[in-house]
């Protein structure tokens, strides 16, 4: 018998204002997002938006990655002098935020108090 393969989650990836990103780079980012989505099957839409940043200390490009999961919006924003490093940093931050959400959501009542339901 063959090995069962889990179905891919139904997720959409939307790009906005990222015309400078080439096809190969876009494919690499989308592949990473699909790997993230495979671990979180309720991730429905991921939006990637880029724009010029006028903040004088952080650089000239800003990337915003946001996604919707279980009725919550998760977002990460990174800026840099170049678009591609800012894009990868924003995807990394988005993945961390999603893991944090899962870690918080996975706790049972009272776990944050060492198993006690109320403080002493």
pLDDT digits (tens, 9 = 90+) for 102-112: 777 644 333 44
CA dist 98 and 23 (Å) reads 26
Start-to-end C-alpha separation, the chain: 56
119, two tokens: 């403080």
CA dist 72 and 99 (Å) reads 13
Altogether, the residues listed in the chain come to a count of 120
Mean pLDDT across the chain, nearest whole number?
Answer: 78
**Confidence class for position 7, pLDDT limits 50, 70, 90:** very low
Rounded to 5 degrees, what angle do the CA atoms 36, 5, 95 make? 5
* pLDDT score at 54: 67
**Confidence class for position 18, pLDDT limits 50, 70, 90:** confident
Query: Mind listing the domains of the chain with CATH numbers?
Result: 12-104 (3.30.160.100)
Q: What is the pTM of this model?
A: 0.73
pLDDT digits (tens, 9 = 90+) for 47-57: 999 987 766 56
The three-state secondary structure class of 48 is strand
- Compute the average pLDDT of residues 79-100: 91
CA dist 11 and 94 (Å) reads 15
- Is the pLDDT assigned to residue 87 strictly greater than 80? yes
In sequence order, which residues have a C-beta less than 8 Å from that of residue 35 and are 6 or more positions away?
A: none
């Amino acid at each position: 018998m063959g090995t069962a393969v889990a179905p891919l989650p139904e997720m959409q990836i939307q790009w906005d204002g990222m015309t400078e990103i080439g096809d190969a780079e876009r494919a690499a980012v989308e592949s990473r997002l699909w790997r993230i989505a495979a671990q979180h099957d309720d991730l429905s839409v991921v939006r990637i938006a880029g724009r010029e940043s006028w903040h004088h200390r952080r650089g000239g490009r800003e990337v915003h990655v946001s996604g919707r999961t279980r009725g919550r919006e998760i977002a990460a924003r990174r800026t840099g002098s170049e678009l591609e490093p800012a894009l990868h940093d924003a995807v990394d931050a988005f993945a961390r935020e999603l893991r944090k959400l899962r870690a918080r959501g996975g706790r049972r009542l009272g776990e944050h108090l060492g198993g006690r339901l109320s403080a002493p």
